[in-house]
Structure 1
Amino acid sequence: MFIKNNKCDNGMNNPNKEKRISLKQYWTRRYLLTLCMGLVVIAIVSAFWIRHNTLENRLNIMSLLADSMADRVVATNERAVRPPDFFHERELKTELEIDPFTYIIDTDGTILSSNRPRGPFEQQLNPTIIENKESIQKVDLIGQEFYIVKSPIVVNDSVIGWVLMVDSKDKLTHVNQEYTQLAIMIISLALLGWAAIYVLSNRLAKPIRDVSEAAKLVAEGYYHVDIPNESKEKEVYELIQSFKEMTKKLERLEALRTELLAGVTHELKTPVTSISGLLQALKEEVVTGDEAKEFLNISLNEVEKMKTMVEDLLAFNQFATNEVPVNKAVHSSNEVVKDAVFSWQIAQKEEIEINLSTLSTPVEITVDPIRFQQVMTNLLNNAYHAMEGEGEISILMMESETEVMIDVSDTGCGIPEEEQPYIFERFFRGEKKKYKIRGLGLGLALSKMISQALGGDLILLKSSAEGTTFRITLPSATAKMHTTE
């Protein structure tokens, strides 16, 4: 018998449920770690630099003091006797903060006098120290590194002895005040840097946190979010602004979706109800003869309207998913426009005059005539409905170096200014058109998609109470050829 284990893993094996930390904590920690590592490196380099400079300065001062002591020995013209003022211990401690061993020796290396009875040398120096011409020497004595500073005692141009100052490297490089100042400076920089990082991270995290909270509300279907956008940073400002625009568009699309459901339900319910009633009357023989035929014709017209709406939906979905092939070929611009206008005119129940101005010299364009005819049919239908059967439709063709432009104008009531930004959105229908003309609001959106698929575009050129003008642009075949070459 198999038993299925339905216990929940509580997210332990789900990588998407691992614990997350806030942006402020994440970057503050990492910035602080980077800052501390940098300050540690600076502190180490600074400590070595302080040790090196301290050693150099103290050796230089020891050299000056050794020269001064040698001059005093010559001035007193005494040898082997230590004058009482030769060893200025207080002076050395004040200048150097150390107390070096000081020796007066003869040319053989015998120690004649020293400031302390015990030191690294007993009675005799190694001859190599005296023979070495360097005034500052580094030697290993009793397991430590020592520096020796020597200055010659010269009388009548003859060296009669030496003044030596000796001290260990540890004492010469030992400092307290400088290290304390360095530590205070490093700690101050660390605290200041951490405070600056904290403030900046919080400033960066706050607008992102606001956007995140607003996104949760949008995900729950609440679109009325107000995010303050006072950021000085360009990227953060653009992020918030883009999010606001996205929210408004989502709200608009949600409203359109609701309208679509209501519109499709209404548009399909009305003909279905009408057809059902007409067929019921025929079935029960309420009408007969010519009246019955008229009922059948009305039913067929309603079926045709339903068929058109369904075809519009299918065509739009196919274009939206790039599943409809566009067979572009080179055609004469004048002929393509004339054929599209003629096809629309003969399909109308009443004769409608169209003022068509073609190009004086026909230009070849790359186009799919069938798809272009769909665009023209939609624009001409919209123009006719806008004029309510009264007015004039004008089509003006123009050309530029790269494209042909077809302007379709009417003398209707125009499109309200507040509706103009949305006319190419799918399922959008103006307030006036919504109650007068049945449809799904896909005509202009589909026409724009077709125009773009042909390599051109469809735009609203102008609209006012005096009329509306749409412009179709199509690439000329010659321009495409030059581009290819």
Structure 2
Amino acid sequence: MDRSLKQTSMLSYWTARYFIILCIGLLVFAVAAVWWTKQQTMDSRLQTVEVLAQDIADRLDGPTGDVVIPPDLTKLLEKRAHYFQLGSGICLIVTDLSGKLLYASDPVTQEELPYKLNDSLDKAREPGMKAITAPITHQEEKIGQVTILQPTKPLTRLTDVWWAFGLALLCLTALGWLTIYLLSKKLSRPIRMVASAAREISQGHYGISLDAQTKERELGELIRSFKEMAGRLEQLEHSRSFMLAGLTHELKTPVTSVKGLIFAVREKVVQGEEADEFLDIALQESVRLERMVADLLDYNALAAGIVHLERDRLDASMLIGEIVYQWRLLQGELLQEPSLCLPEQQVYIAGDSLRIQQIMVNLLNNSLQAKHPDRALQLDIALRVHAEAAEIVVNDNGCGIPVQEQSHIFERFFRGEKKKLALRGLGLGLAFSKLLAKAQQGDLVFNSSTEEGTSFSLLLPLADSQHQDAN
């Protein structure tokens, strides 16, 4: 069952998740830090109690080797406990070498003494108590023992540390959340602008304005690429409208012409030989219209990939010679014989002979249409063999292609200004020829064009055996 994905803003999405992750991370860190601090604090305070026990033990060494209990021992213990912040509840017990109870800061009987001083029962003696002992020595001989029973709770009291640590965690959490909030806000702003611009383009408004300034390279590249895409789409939309208008005009002109001619004959506006001449003109216009429609259908079919192309092993020199010969016959005697420069060895290419002929004839017709009025048309056709492909070069000495039009010659429906005035057509010849070449794993390349002439190259893959020979 499909479920719609609930979407939220990037600002809310990232800040919420970052805040949760930050809190979990800081909580784990806090627990570990508190445990470690607690252990370090306990060890430090136990060492302090040990120092206190040893200090009291040194004070109990009498001059005759007996344990002497000073009368101010209780006050001394209270002062030391207050000074070292050991808290209340500590119990000081002094015994002699035989274990006899000599002093206890809290009421303790001799019978209770073994239980309190039994090291094996230290952990189970009293909940929350810790026993620290220090020997009383006289001339390096033990004469008694001082034992301090210290509650463990004061040892691990971290009230001040807790407040400081909690405040630090709160500040880190707020700072981290503010950081990700500002970063997310900065990142989401240009993305929202691009999304808004995309919606404008989807509605057909291409004149968008993206003024987002960002120092991030990736976001800058996204904005620049989107601007370029929007500009290109606007240009393509303008070209589409312009080309559609041109296409409509080119198709409408012969239809109108044929309609007018046939109407004139039917209404007997013209009769006899003149009527026959009108019908012949109408037939020519119909043929031209049929050719333009066929070109349009062929281009669309090839662009959609539904045209089947053969991949035969062809003799390139023989194929070029036959194509040029047939084309030359259709042009009459006024055209000079094209110059062929073919290699002596046989060159085999892989392709569709009919489609190669279409490309070659289109190039030759374009050269014929570009004939310079002050000089005879001269065509030079050469076949060159490279490591990966065969190159058929077609050069002419025509008028050339204006520089501003050279980058558009392979665009569909594009026609130069001079060609629009001189000939009817759809501007699909070179675009269709390039598609045909690419469909045969080759290419049609524009080499150069000046006032002295134009040069194109048709690249076609070598046949397998020829390719092995070339290598």
TM-score by length of 1: 0.85
Query: How far apart are 1:410 and its partner, in Å?
Result: 3.0
Q: Secondary structure at the match of 1:426?
A: coil
1:102 matched residue in structure 2: 92
Q: Which is further off, 447-456 or 167-176? A: 167-176
Note if 1:222 corresponds to 2:205: yes
Query: How far apart are 1:118 and its partner, in Å?
Result: 5.5
Contact 1:111 1:124 in 2 (8 A): no
**Residues 1:369 and 1:54: Cα distance change in structure 2 (over 3 Å):** same
Contact 1:331 1:364 in 2 (8 A): yes
Letter in 1 for 2:241: T
Contact 1:108 1:127 in 2 (8 A): no
Write the distance in 2 (CA, Å) between the matches of 1:186 and 1:480.
76
Q: Which is further off, 192-201 or 424-433? A: 424-433
Q: Deviations over 1:372-394 (max 9, x none)?
A: 22222222222222335654333
Instruction: Give the unaligned 5+ runs of structure 2.
Output: none
Query: How far apart are 1:48 and its partner, in Å?
Result: 1.4
Write the distance in 2 (CA, Å) between the matches of 1:54 and 1:89.
21
Write the distance in 1 (CA, Å) between the matches of 2:400 and 2:122.
99
User: What are the within-5 Å matches in structure 2 for residues 163-182 of structure 1?
Assistant: 163-182=146-165
1:7 matched residue in structure 2: none
Q: Secondary structure at the match of 1:419?
A: helix
**Residues 1:88 and 1:128: Cα distance change in structure 2 (over 3 Å):** closer
Note if 1:27 corresponds to 2:14: yes
State which of 37, 43, 50 in structure 1 corresponds to 2:37.
Answer: 50
Letter in 2 for 1:470: F
Query: How far apart are 1:80 and its partner, in Å?
Result: 5.9
Query: How far apart are 1:109 and its partner, in Å?
Result: 4.8
User: What are the within-5 Å matches in structure 2 for residues 125-204 of structure 1?
Assistant: 125-126=113-114, 129-130=117-118, 139-142=123-126, 144-204=127-187
Aligned Cα root-mean-square deviation (Å) = 3.1
Query: How far apart are 1:232 and its partner, in Å?
Result: 3.2
2:406 matched residue in structure 1: 420
2:192 matched residue in structure 1: 209
State which of 85, 106, 110 in structure 2 corresponds to 1:117.
Answer: 106
Query: How far apart are 1:363 and its partner, in Å?
Result: 2.5
Q: Secondary structure at the match of 2:106?
A: coil
Contact 2:53 2:132 in 1 (8 A): yes
**Residues 1:82 and 1:226: Cα distance change in structure 2 (over 3 Å):** same
User: What are the within-5 Å matches in structure 2 for residues 346-425 of structure 1?
Assistant: 346-349=329-332, 350-388=334-372, 390=375, 391-425=377-411
State which of 419, 427, 430 in structure 2 corresponds to 1:441.
Answer: 427
Instruction: Give the unaligned 5+ runs of structure 1.
Output: 1-13
Query: How far apart are 1:399 and its partner, in Å?
Result: 2.4
**Residues 1:435 and 1:205: Cα distance change in structure 2 (over 3 Å):** farther
Write the distance in 2 (CA, Å) between the matches of 1:164 and 1:414.
113
Contact 2:61 2:68 in 1 (8 A): no
Contact 2:348 2:463 in 1 (8 A): yes
Q: Deviations over 1:100-123 (max 9, x none)?
A: 433323345554324x4259x986
Q: Secondary structure at the match of 1:74?
A: coil
Contact 2:379 2:397 in 1 (8 A): yes
Write the distance in 2 (CA, Å) between the matches of 1:91 and 1:339.
119
Q: Secondary structure at the match of 1:21?
A: coil
Letter in 2 for 1:81: I
**Residues 1:84 and 1:260: Cα distance change in structure 2 (over 3 Å):** same
2:418 matched residue in structure 1: 432
Write the distance in 2 (CA, Å) between the matches of 1:463 and 1:84.
117
Letter in 2 for 1:54: T
Write the distance in 2 (CA, Å) between the matches of 1:372 and 1:232.
52
Aligned-residue sequence identity (percent) comes to 36
Contact 1:148 1:166 in 2 (8 A): yes
**Residues 1:131 and 1:209: Cα distance change in structure 2 (over 3 Å):** closer
Letter in 2 for 1:421: S
Q: Deviations over 1:441-475 (max 9, x none)?
A: 22222222111111122232233444332222222
Aligned residues: 464
Write the distance in 2 (CA, Å) between the matches of 1:172 and 1:464.
96
Query: How far apart are 1:336 and its partner, in Å?
Result: 2.9
Query: How far apart are 1:324 and its partner, in Å?
Result: 0.6
Query: How far apart are 1:280 and its partner, in Å?
Result: 1.9
User: What are the within-5 Å matches in structure 2 for residues 255-404 of structure 1?
Assistant: 255-349=238-332, 350-388=334-372, 390=375, 391-404=377-390
Letter in 2 for 1:161: G
Write the distance in 2 (CA, Å) between the matches of 1:465 and 1:129.
116
**Residues 1:38 and 1:329: Cα distance change in structure 2 (over 3 Å):** same
Contact 1:109 1:127 in 2 (8 A): no
Write the distance in 2 (CA, Å) between the matches of 1:128 and 1:152.
17
Contact 2:136 2:143 in 1 (8 A): yes
**Residues 1:306 and 1:85: Cα distance change in structure 2 (over 3 Å):** same
**Residues 1:467 and 1:67: Cα distance change in structure 2 (over 3 Å):** farther
Letter in 1 for 2:356: F
Write the distance in 2 (CA, Å) between the matches of 1:338 and 1:92.
116
Contact 1:58 1:96 in 2 (8 A): no
Query: How far apart are 1:271 and its partner, in Å?
Result: 0.6
Letter in 2 for 1:458: L
Write the distance in 2 (CA, Å) between the matches of 1:423 and 1:15.
50
Contact 1:149 1:165 in 2 (8 A): yes
State which of 12, 34, 37 in structure 1 corresponds to 2:24.
Answer: 37
**Residues 1:363 and 1:265: Cα distance change in structure 2 (over 3 Å):** same
